[in-house]
Structure 1
């Protein structure tokens, strides 16, 4: 029996980034995630973006986790009139302001640079569509909810979070939607973690559901084993050291940077790390690493024991240098060999990594190690796909640095893990595949159907009745 509720797929439908889903129930409007689409010129994207609803009409946002492709539109939502509640886990609530202030700050810097360029050409200046104050206002609207605590955020809705095992604070959203004589359970996987990776617990199993939104980032392939991944990582580091150059690791400040530090600490503990300087070149990654240190009790203790339980991630790497200031980052370019530089953004569509690339992509002694998914349209994807010349800061730059892609570090579940998680859900739910590129979704859909699980692939803008 229906419960008079609709769900509309507004983002991460047929693509990985931009997670956003609208539920309309009893004249209430609820968003599951409010994420940015990542890839192209962010100033242009922000300025042409239009919500498919009136932000002031949204009563509630339920956030699966803090990654920008799931949370990045929240400041703009506030700037356009949203005044409702935002519910997320305590870990996400801690991390969210760091990411959003950084994201808006980068946007404002890019806008300032573009306005200066426009002024020199006699063109019109652009006004910002949001400010840092809007990012700060997001935090004021947040109401944390711990894992496995049931809450009634709006009449006719019950909400509970389970651990998604993806990053600190990541959640599987369980939502019970009640009508006069019926109830439907909607489950949104968020980003399911890869059980093989470190620091996070395995994703929680869900007992029953009527409708499931399942991420499909790696729906068409499995990750190689973690042991092989670590060997591949160690080999790339050693090769870079022997070549007399530096290693550049584009890494998201949240999750991936902390995992990379863990693996470097593990190699150091094993006596296999030859580099004697490691730079964590991201103010945001430094802040989030400090939050991770505060939450060590909530992380996987078996993993921490392998590198020295009870100590901060920074203390485990004596050669680690934190470079929060711009001048510290610029000084790294004077280090010509024997260094590892971890900098954002993870898909190379902004941040300090692009400045390092400007100075280092054209040197054949340098190595770039990609340790995460690169979405279409990003500089990172173009480098992974083998482009030999890229345009940066108005300059053509030849790519001579050696590029390594190490997929086994992914914090997303691979195909096998997605299938196992889906099989464990009782109640014969209808699945909808989201947060994935079409080729990955089609393969995962076929695999689910072979298991007797019906899965549809919605397009952006599609609506369903719950």
Structure 2
């Protein structure tokens, strides 16, 4: 039995793992690489196998760095089922089509630019909306905590990972001769106590473990301090400076977290009257999907939703649908909180809002999620004084706030605590889904705190289990 690390090895994005035995060949996740031109090259050369030979895919959750190449896999000949939770399947209905739409528009813009530069080589998107729709027909919905058999030699069970709605830890038993090897994929583990979702499920046993390390090198700011910083940033910008607050946010998970927190802070009297604009049709759809899965939400979120439904005085939340309404926001100079995608600022409507607000000192940009190397969001976090947006240089005069305590990922202490619930050390521990320095820090922490051995696999490395 062989395990190949196709992505998220020594880096955060592109999660995908190939498992092969003499009788079955399947993937766990099929994610898109994100962050600059190098990511585009990786996405176009990602498949080191014939997609027609893949029997099925197990998907941990809907985020594009885990699911984003599924339509391309299908377009290249994969015809098997994709197993995921019901909430993940609902989210993919909007996320993958939106991803395809953004790619089509970006390629259209790049081809137009090449035309003006007299280049004759036309570019093509990774996949089209039509191809994304075709892949969606291959989704198979599964329930949490229910064992399934995607193949005669494979059993698996999806457990709640507490990361975003529908996110999963996958327990996998693969038959080898007369015995089974148990492989656990942590997926993206959530931060305990995080809004909206329940806490991650503890797992007790594994022969082989793949654990994420997005924040394997640090501790998050505690939630009370995080909320104090959020309140300060918003009040200082809207009341004292008279500008706008721009929040790049992932449409699934982070946008819903922010809406919940803003409503709750208003209910507590810490924030005043607000005009909140959610400028992402997909975020509206994702919010509606979240409300359709009430049983998956934690108690605090359910209580806040009940208050929102009963209260007369509450924050004004506007979901922006058409592009004309989105463009009108660029002419409104003060008093707005604009939540828009993409979360790493590399595509979508957020780039327009940054273009019109970054060079205004009275405005603030709130970075509330992880920013991969090479992304526009990462350049802002790293202190760039000038960035390039739509071919134009834009000066950075706005205040940049990095509010790390809202992360939907477990930090180092949370990851170690999750590992402590294993009854014994797995035979092999592979630390994945993290920049190399973050993964290295978690490997060291595992050694020091648990006296266990772990390693960081290399990209495209193959391990015989």
Q: Hey, what's the Cα distance between the residues in 2 that align with 1:286 and 1:185?
A: 39
Calculate the TM-score normalised by the size of structure 1: 0.96
Contact 1:166 1:194 in 2 (8 A): yes
Q: Hey, what's the Cα distance between the residues in 1 that align with 2:264 and 2:370?
A: 23
Q: Hey, what's the Cα distance between the residues in 1 that align with 2:419 and 2:312?
A: 39
Give the equivalent residue in structure 2 for 1:383.
380
Q: Does 1:401 align with 2:394?
A: no
Q: Does 1:392 align with 2:389?
A: yes
Contact 2:430 2:455 in 1 (8 A): yes
CA deviations on 1:22-57 (whole Å, 9 max, x unpaired) are 000224211110001111149944774341111111
What is the CA distance between 1:463 and its match in structure 2? Answer: 1.3
Aligned pairs (5 A) from 1:269-348: 269-305=267-303, 307-309=304-306, 317-348=314-345
Q: Does 1:13 align with 2:33?
A: no
What is the CA distance between 1:196 and its match in structure 2? Answer: 2.3
Distance 1:43 1:414, change over 3 A: closer
CA deviations on 1:167-190 (whole Å, 9 max, x unpaired) are 000000000011222211000000
Distance 1:310 1:155, change over 3 A: farther
Q: How much is the aligned-residue C-alpha RMSD, in angstroms?
A: 1.8
Q: Hey, what's the Cα distance between the residues in 1 that align with 2:266 and 2:89?
A: 33
2:422 to 419, 425, 436: 425
1:37 to 33, 45, 53: 33
Distance 1:170 1:129, change over 3 A: closer
Q: Hey, what's the Cα distance between the residues in 1 that align with 2:388 and 2:318?
A: 30
Distance 1:302 1:278, change over 3 A: closer
Give the equivalent residue in structure 2 for 1:458.
457
CA deviations on 1:109-157 (whole Å, 9 max, x unpaired) are 1111112222233322234442111111121101111001101101210
What is the CA distance between 1:432 and its match in structure 2? Answer: 0.4
Structure 1: stretches of 5+ with no match in the other structure: none
2:107 to 111, 125, 135: 111
What is the CA distance between 1:253 and its match in structure 2? Answer: 0.1
Q: Hey, what's the Cα distance between the residues in 2 that align with 1:140 and 1:436?
A: 31
Distance 1:370 1:418, change over 3 A: same
Give the equivalent residue in structure 2 for 1:231.
228
Contact 2:161 2:187 in 1 (8 A): yes
Contact 2:246 2:366 in 1 (8 A): yes
What is the CA distance between 1:426 and its match in structure 2? Answer: 2.3
Distance 1:388 1:315, change over 3 A: farther
Contact 2:103 2:126 in 1 (8 A): no
CA deviations on 1:406-450 (whole Å, 9 max, x unpaired) are 000000001111001112112420210000011111111111112
Q: Hey, what's the Cα distance between the residues in 2 that align with 1:142 and 1:248?
A: 35
Q: Secondary structure at the match of 2:306?
A: coil
Structure 1, 320-329 or 24-33: larger mean CA deviation: 24-33
Calculate the TM-score normalised by the size of structure 2: 0.96
Q: Secondary structure at the match of 1:26?
A: coil
What is the CA distance between 1:460 and its match in structure 2? Answer: 0.4
Aligned pairs (5 A) from 1:50-129: 50-124=46-120, 125-129=122-126
What is the CA distance between 1:338 and its match in structure 2? Answer: 1.1
Give the equivalent residue in structure 2 for 1:448.
446
Q: Hey, what's the Cα distance between the residues in 2 that align with 1:184 and 1:6?
A: 12
Q: Hey, what's the Cα distance between the residues in 2 that align with 1:43 and 1:164?
A: 26
What is the CA distance between 1:67 and its match in structure 2? Answer: 0.1
Q: Secondary structure at the match of 1:232?
A: helix
Give the equivalent residue in structure 1 for 2:353.
356
Q: How many residue pairs align between the two structures?
A: 461
Q: Secondary structure at the match of 1:453?
A: coil
Contact 1:275 1:338 in 2 (8 A): no
Give the equivalent residue in structure 1 for 2:167.
170
1:181 to 158, 178, 183: 178
Contact 1:275 1:339 in 2 (8 A): no
Structure 2: stretches of 5+ with no match in the other structure: none
Q: Hey, what's the Cα distance between the residues in 2 that align with 1:175 and 1:462?
A: 20
Q: Secondary structure at the match of 2:151?
A: coil
Q: Hey, what's the Cα distance between the residues in 1 that align with 2:310 and 2:126?
A: 37
